Amino acid sequence: GAGVSQSPRYKVAKRGQDVALRCDPISGHVSLFWYQQALGQGPEFLTYFQNEAQLDKSGLPSDRFFAERPEGSVSTLKIQRTQQEDSAVYLCASSNLVGEQYFGPGTRLTVT
Amino acid sequence: GNSVTQMEGPVTLSEEAFLTINCTYTATGYPSLFWYVQYPGEGLQLLLKATKADDKGSNKGFEATYRKETTSFHLEKGSVQVSDSAVYFCALSDDSTSYGKLTFGQGTILTVHP
């Protein structure tokens, strides 16, 4: 079946612009995670959803970052007033309630 | 808090050489441990895992043993192939939550030459 998909794959934004990154998880997966991966580093946890409920947002670096999953399926990560330090690959992963996390290909965000 | 430390890379080997990538961790409780692999242009894929002390995870010729006494989960393969060239990430799953958010190491780039 289809895996996790993310769009866009690449995004270039000027500093100060707002961006929205989309994640389509594997159908039926209850859990959805967002991670941020800076160049040359491992992914770092941002936030977690169980269905439509955002149960953990402890990794969001500032109040400019906002995530939602209104119908318990597709999720959007929004970054307001982007800064250069936001440049990274944003990874989405989904899983059953207890199980392996399946990762999407990521969205590479470059803020100029 | 939880943390994962991997050996510095990059690692360059000839085909059929023995591979070891070291990984140590710091965690409270009893985390599960993972190795993920990222091939060029692709997303992260789970390579193997171990959920309790002394468990050995294995897949595609790779192995790692969960050593609680040394807080380690070193990745090994007896004979690497060119197709194993990728970035390898060690990770642990936080057992203080039910949903298992992951903490990753910084990754180790492996290049295998023919």
**At residue A100, does pLDDT exceed 80?**
yes
Q: What is the pLDDT of residue A53?
A: 96
Task: Return d(Cα B58, Cα B40) in angstroms, integer.
Answer: 22
Chain segment A44-62, per-residue pLDDT in tens: 999 999 999 999 999 999 9
Return the number of other C-beta atoms located less than 10 Å from residue B49's C-beta. Answer: 19
Tens-binned pLDDT, residue by residue, of chain B (114 aa): 899 999 888 999 999 999 999 999 999 888 999 999 999 888 899 999 999 999 999 999 999 999 999 999 999 999 999 999 999 999 999 877 777 899 999 999 999 999
DSSP state of B67: B
Over 60: is that where the pLDDT of A1 sits? no
**Which residues of chain A are within 8 Å of residue B1 when distances are taken between CB atoms?**
none
Residue given tokens 């390579």 in the structure block: B47
Residue pLDDT, tens place only, B61-70 = 999 999 999 9
- pLDDT at position A8 over 80: yes
Strands A31-37 and A44-50 turn out to be antiparallel
Give the model's pLDDT for residue B43: 87
CB-CB contact of A20 with A77 (8 Å): yes
Indicate which of B8, B37, B44 best probes the interface with A, i.e. most A CBs within 10 Å of its own CB.
B44
The 3-state DSSP class for residue A18 equals coil
Q: Is B23 on the interface with A (CB under 8 A)?
A: no
Say what the pLDDT of residue B28 is.
Answer: 83
Per-residue confidence band for A17, with pLDDT thresholds at 50, 70 and 90: very high
Contact criterion met (CB < 8 Å) for A40 and B106: yes
Residue of B nearest to A38 (CA): B106
**In whole angstroms, what is the distance from residue B73 CA to residue B6 CA?**
10
The pLDDT of residue A97 is 65
